Amino acid sequence: MERDSPARPAQQHEHNLALIMRLVARTGAVSRAKLAHDSGLTKSTVTQLTGELVGGGLLREIGTGPARGPGRPANLLVLDSLGPVGIGLQVGVDHVAGYLTDLTGKIRDRALRRADDLRGDPLRVIKAAEPVLRRLINAANSTDNVVAGVAVGLPGRVRDATVVRSTVLGWSETNLPWLLGDRLDALGAGSIPVTVHNSHHLAAHAEQWFTGDNAEILVYVGGEPVLGAGILAGGQVRGGARGAAGELAHVRVSFGDLPCACGGVGCLDTVAGQQALSRASGVDMPSRSRLVGGDGPLPALLESGERRAVAAARRAAEGLGEVLGGLVPALDPDVIVLGGHFATLGAPFLERVRGELAQQCPELGADMRIRPSRLPPDVVARAAATTVTQHLIEDPAVRLAE
């Protein structure tokens, strides 16, 4: 990889700091000699860079490794678990969930605030987030870890990691970092940078970071609270020119005939959306997130072969397969991960999606890897927290300059 080799003099220093951080993150406990070998940098440059990173609280020296040949055994370096940490929030209509993770990826604490309905005024979300933030900030303070950032995942279209438009939450052009930054200040946390991300985009990252799936191109399709997708290519989210990449809910399905909330007819959401699927199955389910309300009665109905539920799930799978069939030739993904309520619908649902996909694009669809997500329903919060620590690994110079 080009970024894993030394850079031109202009950005050399920053580049090399990041190179060392990535190598330590990848290798685990590692000696300076091995870092020099793996990076192609001289030993004295590595000594200088690691000195800065240790001084900045990003790397830490631990004991010694086995001596290779004559001479003193080498000190080993690891990512500093006592260094900066990240807070991630997951905002849904009925909850705010939070994670605190450190540079090594370890989960240090988590919190959940249930709510009846957070739609409407964004200050409702801010208010629900407050106890979650307070707990996580206290947890960080108790171990003297500095909170490097707060990242928020929510259903909506995000521009520049700041401005959010969310039909689910009823927000138009909301600058969440500005609102949340104010509240963090009021909590005495000082000025902590805040970023916002689409929850499906974070869920796609989660599949890569927390399952070890090293797919080059990964498509995550989630169902709650709104149907949508996150596309990863080379480890990076493809958000699109307007932050709208993956908005599949209102793609027209050929056999769809029901009116949609968007004003259209036969959108994928009217066939495969969580609400539509429940309604068509004859399940009168209040619209709760999986995190708060669990999987609901649908999985058991499908398991028992209940006629209406099976028919509704079949239509949902066909609709989803048809829309994905349009996407697959454009992206040629390694894997499609079905998350949200799709993950709970069982193997027959998965097989039907695969079958429809194979019909749509026989060449690519037939051996496409499709799997359900097995990550917990608050994983967007964990992924959000990881964006903060990941950023420290990818761009340590910013932290050292503070």
If one asks whether residue 252 binds Zn ion (CB under 5 A), the answer comes out as: no
Q: How far is the CB of 326 from Zn ion (least distance, A)?
A: 16
**265 contacts Zn ion (rule: CB under 5 A):** no
**Region from 117-125, 209-217, 257-265, 274-282 binding Zn ion, contact rule CB under 5 A:** 257-265
Decide whether 267 or 345 has the Cβ nearer to Zn ion.
267
- Which of 61-69, 109-117, 173-181, 247-255 is the region at the interface with Zn ion (rule: CB under 5 A)? 247-255
Beta pairing, strands 335-338 & 217-222: parallel
Residue 244 CB, shortest distance to Zn ion, in Å, is 14
Q: Which two tokens stand for residue 201?
A: 């985009």
What does DSSP say about strands 163-166 and 171-175: parallel, antiparallel, or unpaired? Answer: antiparallel
Structure tokens at 257: 């005939």
Note whether 262 binds Zn ion by CB under 5 A.
yes
Q: Does 264 bind Zn ion (CB under 5 A)?
A: yes
Count other C-beta atoms under 10 Å from residue 55's C-beta: 10
The answer to whether residue 376 forms part of the interface with Zn ion (CB under 5 A) is no
Residues 206, 45: Cα–Cα separation, whole Å: 34
Q: How far is the CB of 372 from Zn ion (least distance, A)?
A: 25
Question: Quick one: which of 147, 267, 298, 383 contacts Zn ion (CB under 5 A)?
Answer: 267
Which of residues 47 and 287 has its CB atom nearest to Zn ion in the complex? 287
Burial class (CB in 10 A: 0-12, 13-18, 19+), 317: buried
Residue 346 is a binding residue for Zn ion (CB under 5 A): no
251 touches Zn ion (CB under 5 A): no
Q: Is the peptide bond before 225 cis (omega within 30 degrees of 0)?
A: yes
| Shorter beta-carbon distance to Zn ion: residue 251 or 392 | 251
Rounded to a whole number of angstroms, the minimum distance from the CB of residue 228 to Zn ion is 12
Per CB under 5 A, does 250 bind Zn ion? yes
- Cα gap 192→194, rounded to integer Å: 6
Structure tokens at 170: 């009823």
Q: Which stretch binds Zn ion (CB under 5 A): 31-39, 56-64, 230-238, 259-267?
A: 259-267
Within positions 179 to 238, which residues make up the interface with Zn ion, using CB under 5 A? none
In angstroms, what is the minimal distance from the CB of 212 to Zn ion?
A: 36
Residue 334 Cβ vs Zn ion, minimum distance, rounded to whole Å:
29
Compute the chain's Rg from CA coordinates.
23
Our finding on whether 268 is near Zn ion (CB under 5 A) is no
Q: How far is CA 178 from CA 167, 181, 184, 195, in A?
A: 20, 5, 10, 10
357 vs 351: CA distance, rounded Å: 10
How far, in Å, CA of 88 to CA of 122, rounded?
A: 18
Per CB under 5 A, residues contacting Zn ion are 250, 260, 262, 264, 267
